[in-house]
């Protein structure tokens, strides 16, 4: 079992239940899934870029990523319908907790000029989205073999009913958010 999952089951759930004033332990918010997304706009010219990004995202996630295709043709951008323009992977259960552990404890501290995660990135339904400018902050990526540094989006979906519950859940996982005073 993942270290973070054991900690959630043994300590975090009980703390959140009392902190949020919930009566039932099953009403405590939990993680549902984490979605990693990498858009590669230059792939319209060179299809090999998708394969390299697919390989990198698979290494980062620990699970096979898939290609995402365009739904419509956009002539202004020279994009045809069905053209591969990105890669994504959805993590659940054990792999999700292991990824979150690596993200919080290894990857986020390696971000250059990091001052905390933005509190305004919640969507109102308890989900949190963040962007990373350099995918090489993950230790699985060999910096010498990287042709181009790419950005990626990370969306953390929770069962929380509102942003405050989701914020308390993510803070209990040691996510480094900005203070309200420094915004």
Q: What is the pLDDT of residues 60-92, one digit of tens each?
A: 888 898 888 877 777 676 777 777 788 999 999
Bridge partners of 177? 117
Structural domain for 120, as ranges: 31-173
Beta carbons within 8 Å of 112's beta carbon, 6+ residues apart:
134
Residue 111 in any domain: the answer is yes
Structural domain tally of the chain?
1
Tokens, residue 161: 């009913």
Look at 9-23, 113-127, 134-148 and tell me which has the smallest mean pLDDT. Answer: 134-148
pLDDT of residue 171 exceeding 50, the answer is yes
Residue 12 in any domain: the answer is no
Task: Find the mean pLDDT for residues 95-105.
Answer: 89
Q: pTM for the whole thing?
A: 0.84
pLDDT in tens, 18-53: 888 888 888 889 999 999 998 887 766 677 778 888
Supply the DSSP symbol for 113: T
């Amino acid at each position: 079992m993942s270290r973070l999952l054991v900690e959630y089951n043994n300590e975090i759930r009980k703390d959140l239940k009392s902190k949020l004033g919930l009566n039932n332990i099953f009403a405590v918010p939990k993680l549902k899934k984490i979605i990693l997304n990498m858009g590669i706009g230059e792939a319209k010219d060179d299809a090999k870029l998708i394969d390299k990004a697919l390989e990198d995202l698979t290494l980062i996630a620990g699970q096979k990523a898939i290609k995402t295709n365009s739904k419509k043709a956009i002539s202004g951008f020279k994009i045809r319908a069905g053209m591969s323009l990105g890669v994504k992977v959805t993590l659940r259960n054990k792999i999700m907790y292991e990824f979150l552990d690596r993200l919080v404890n290894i990857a986020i501290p390696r971000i250059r000029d990091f001052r905390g995660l933005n509190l305004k990135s919640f969507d109102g339904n308890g989900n949190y989205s963040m962007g990373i400018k350099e995918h090489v902050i993950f230790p699985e990526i060999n910096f010498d073999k990287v042709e181009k540094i790419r950005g990626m989006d990370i969306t953390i979906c929770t069962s929380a009913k509102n942003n405050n519950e989701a914020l308390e859940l993510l803070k209990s996982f040691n996510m480094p958010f900005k203070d309200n005073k420094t915004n």
